[in-house]
Structures are given as structure tokens and as C-alpha cells.
Amino acid sequence: MCDMKSAFDAASGKKTPWNPSRTATARVTNPLPVPTTCPNCGAAVGLVNNEEIYGMPYGDWPWAYRCADLACNSYVGLHPFTSIPLGTLADAPTREARKKAKSAFNPLWQSRRMSRKEAYAWLAKAMGIKSVGDCHIGWFDIAMCERVMKVVNARNKK
Ligand SMILES: [Zn+2]
């Protein structure tokens, strides 16, 4: 990343991925490293304003890591006010699968039948993931997302 830009952001006090919030960064448990190559095609990854993806800035923290090969169409957002990726770079089918997995899973805790923490502990166990810290839908591939839907649906039928 460009040092001039980082120095400018720090001097102006403006929060950007080059001048992230220390407290927000400290709050992210199990941060993934900043991606440098695309896991889907091997091309370089760049940090972009998500305006380049959506046509207008989207959200409070409008940044994304994006694959330089636009045909690959892989990207991922960042934890707000940090430079930490929310997950691994996802292509369109993976983004769709993660969206579906989240809509299946989130009602478990949004309904307040259990806390968010309890819901993730349950999901990790159901998925056979040893550490709940490794259980993030943003890290999952399509097959794992399909398993999320399967275990949540099975639970809902009980
Ligand atoms: Zn790619």
C-alpha cells in the first residue's frame, strides 16, 4: 500500500483502510490476512472503493478487496473501519451461496431463541468445525454453505 496515502490519511485523521481504526481492528477476532492473490484464479488482488463494483459507494465502509481479473469477478468487503477482509474473495456463485447460507442461519439468533454466540457455537459443532473462531460463513466455499443450509433445515424440522 502507498505510504504517501497512509501518511496523508493519518495526518488528516480520516479513517480509511490505510489508516484504520485501532479499536475496530482490535475487536476483530481471528482476522484473516490482507489478500494479495485471488484464491479463485491466482490474479493479484487490489483494494478498491466499492463504487467500482456497485456503481456508487455502498455502506458506511465502502471498500473491497477485488481480483484484478474482472472476468473472475471475485471480491470481498472489509470489517468496518479496518483493513481486515470479511472473508475470502468470493466469485458470484460463492457470494450467492453465502447469502443463502446466511439467510438460513441468521434467523436462529435473530429470533432470539439463542444468542449469536450460541448460534455460532451450535453451527461450528454441527459443521464439525473444531474452533468456533474458524466458523464464519464468509470463509466458506459453496459446499460448506450448502451444508449450513442442510444442518439448519434439519434443526428447524425438529
Ligand atoms: Zn480471481
Contact 67, 41 (CB under 8 A): yes
Identify the pLDDT of residue 89.
98
Domain encompassing residue 43: 3-77
Identify the pLDDT of residue 7.
63
Contact 60, 15 (CB under 8 A): no
Q: How far is the CA of 52 from the centre of ligand 1 (A)?
A: 16
- Output the tens digit of pLDDT for each of the chain's 158 residues: 455 666 666 666 789 999 999 999 999 989 999 999 999 999 999 999 999 999 999 999 999 999 999 999 999 999 999 999 999 999 999 999 999 999 999 999 999 889 999 999 999 999 999 999 999 999 999 999 999 999 999 999 88
Claim: this prediction has a pTM higher than 0.75: yes
Domain-located, residue 87: no
Q: How far is the CA of 66 from the centre of ligand 1 (A)?
A: 8
Identify the pLDDT of residue 6.
63
Q: How far is the CA of 50 from the centre of ligand 1 (A)?
A: 16
Q: List, in sequence order, every beta strand (DSSP E) within 1-140.
A: 45-49, 63-67, 75-77
Amino acid identity of residue 43, one-letter, is A
Q: Do 67 and 8 share a structural domain?
A: yes
Domain-located, residue 84: no
Inter-CA distances, 137 with 92, 102, 106, 127, 145, Å: 15, 7, 11, 11, 7
Q: How many domains does the chain have?
A: 2
In whole angstroms, how large is the CA radius of gyration of the chain?
Answer: 17
